Amino acid sequence: MPTTMSDNFLDHVNFDGNGLVAAIAQDANTGRILMMAWMNREALAATVAKGEAVYFSRSRQSLWHKGERSGHTQKVKEIRLDCDGDMICLQVDQVGGIACHTGRESCLFRILKDGQWHTTDTVLKDPNEMYS
C-alpha cells in the first residue's frame, strides 16, 4: 500500500525527541520579538483551535495557556513554520502590551554593549500584581 502525505498540518511539524517545537511570538503590529517558548503537538493544536497562544511549560510539564493568570493573552493572527519544520512563528496581538513575566513588553530586554548586557526596557507592571 503506497504511503500518502498526511493532510494533518501537525504531521508536518518536526517535534524533537521530547515532542517539542520552538515557538517565537512576534508582535503583529510592531514586529518586535516578544518571547520564545515551546509547544508540543497538543499545544499547537490548542493554539489553532483557541486563536490564542498555548505553549507547553517544560518546568510544569503541562499545557500553558499564556496569560491565563495575568490576563496577558496573545491573540494569534498568523502561524508560520520554518523550512525544516522545527520552529513555529506566531504573529500576535499582545493583550496588555506585556509578554514577559518580569512585567516588561518583551523578554528580550537585555542588549549587548561594550561586552556587557544592559537592560533597555522598564517594568510596566509589578509581577506581584500580575500574578496575584
Binding site for Mg(2+), residues? Answer: 82, 84, 86
C-alpha cell at 108: 528580550
Smallest distance from a second copy to CB 12, Å? 6
Q: Residues of 75-107 as b/e, b for ≥16 C-beta within 10 angstroms?
A: bbeebebeeeeebbbbbbebbeebbbebbbbbb
Residues annotated within the binding site for Zn(2+) are 83, 100, 107
- 77 sits near a second copy (criterion: CB under 8 A): no
Contact set for a second copy, span 47-66 (CB under 8 A): 48
Q: ∠93-62-81 over CA atoms, to 5°?
A: 45
- 69 sits near a second copy (criterion: CB under 8 A): no
- 71 sits near a second copy (criterion: CB under 8 A): no
- 4 sits near a second copy (criterion: CB under 8 A): no
- 12 sits near a second copy (criterion: CB under 8 A): yes
Residue type at 92 in one-letter notation: V
